[in-house]
Structure 1
Amino acid sequence: MAEILSFSAALRERSSGSHSRSEHAGFMSDLLRGEGSRADYVSLVTQHYFIYEALESVGERMRKDPVAAVFISDKLTRLPAIEADLEFLIGPDWQAGISPLPTTQRYVDRINEVGATWAGGFVAHHYTRYLGDLSGGVFIGRVMQRRFGFETNGVGFYLFDDIADPNAFKDVYREQLDAAPWDDAERERVIDEVLLAYQFNTELFLDLDRARAAA
């Protein structure tokens, strides 16, 4: 008899290919191999600012939703760390000189769209970003520290001081996914939205590549 996968396991399995494609996109791969510049890293942090500004703004509204609220934790909040990183990397006037790339704007628009009416869609984006941050993101932060000589300034985004055991936190998160009151059709919709989130991430790295080439 075939093993019946939990929803969280099915989600992980169905999205693994998209996750890998995003992770190995040229821009990110170059950055991790040490071929990217400090300016490339700053460009990435800048785009994160717009994404997390949208995600965490929507998250504040979603605290009132009984399904979405289960997943929202102040321990995951990234925006203050991103703002501190940008002040360190660019200077006190950092906000005046940044703007979203085309894919980032589409990504933000989608987060705002689903966040207005659809808890499952919000959770899909929440899952894609934050569980990724607690997995590969921690590794990326360490690489950036070594590559650019950062201590904690500049890489605060990747530091989760309030989460003592990221693996245990992720296990609880997956249990919450399995317990969410979604039928099979809704679970398929959530998986599709996770795949869309990974597509946005991959296309963002292509945008960053193009911006780097044009600089």
Structure 2
Amino acid sequence: MTAVDEGFAARLRAGTRDEHERAERSVFVEALLGGALGREAYAGLLAQSYLFYDVLEAAGESWRGDPVIGGFVIDGLLRRDVLALDLDFLLGPGWRDALEPLPATQSYVDRLVEVGSTDRGAFVAHHYTRYLGDLSGGQVVRRRMQEIYGLTDDGVRFYVFDRVTKPKPFRDHYRALLDGAPWRDDERESLVAEANRAFQLNRAVFDDLATVYC
């Protein structure tokens, strides 16, 4: 059985596997998970993440009532407010005043502004790459940050999804949404391409963070 026969979610996962793995192997990610960086590097990652989650979740609001895409806008996934809580804890209440996007983050934000509210497939592509990653690989990051920096709840709330069901059933639900949406053939192709672009944009942010912290 091919990935296409199995459904679009399987095709999307297979079609983005290489870019996903490249992002996971970035110098910054390996150094952070290996305990080679100070806590400020982790805070820097969350601060840059806040900037693109802010834009992505604003775009999501524009799709909330859409009969096809509205199902992907799930309140329990939203990360902007918990990122703010983590940053308050890690950097203090004035962190917004000092927050500047790295060049790669600005490129990421610009792309989300360009397509997030106007192209339903592009929105889902970016939504998929962010939230499905947070629900799976993000849990590894949470445990490592707790081990390395002695964090408990404060500072790692970004990775806690206490408003969704258990990760496995939820991922199954999300993949059912991908499979069940009435995508046109050209939309499927462009969605896979945009998801790969999202992984590339994310990897570029890791590269910029490596320049600052590694």
TM over 0.5: yes
Normalised to the residue count of structure 2, the TM-score between the two structures is 0.96
Structure-1 separation of matches of 2:65 and 2:111:
20
Structure-2 separation of matches of 1:177 and 1:205:
27
Counterpart position of 1:80:
81
1:98 aligns with 2:106: no
1:8-19 equivalences in 2 (<5 Å): 8-19=9-20
1:1-215 equivalences in 2 (<5 Å): 4-212=5-213
Structure-1 separation of matches of 2:68 and 2:109:
22
RMSD over aligned CA atoms reads 1.2
Paired letter, 1:78: R
1:92 deviates by: 1.1
Structure-1 separation of matches of 2:82 and 2:2:
45
Structure-2 separation of matches of 1:97 and 1:208:
16
Percent of residue pairs bearing the same amino acid type: 46
Gaps of 5+ in 1: none
Structure-1 separation of matches of 2:156 and 2:111:
27
Answer whether contact 1:125 1:194 (CA < 8 A) is retained.
Answer: yes
1:2 deviates by: 5.6
1:116 deviates by: 2.7
Structure-2 separation of matches of 1:108 and 1:97:
18
Structure-2 separation of matches of 1:144 and 1:46:
15
Q: Show CA shifts across 1:5-61 (max 9, x none).
A: 311001101111111100110001110111121111011011011011011111111
Answer whether contact 2:27 2:210 (CA < 8 A) is retained.
Answer: yes
1:139 deviates by: 1.3
Structure-1 separation of matches of 2:65 and 2:7:
27
Normalised to the residue count of structure 1, the TM-score between the two structures is 0.96
1:166 deviates by: 0.7
Paired letter, 1:161: D
Answer whether contact 1:65 1:119 (CA < 8 A) is retained.
Answer: no
Answer whether contact 1:114 1:121 (CA < 8 A) is retained.
Answer: yes
Paired letter, 1:95: R
Answer whether contact 1:62 1:115 (CA < 8 A) is retained.
Answer: no
Structure-1 separation of matches of 2:52 and 2:2:
39
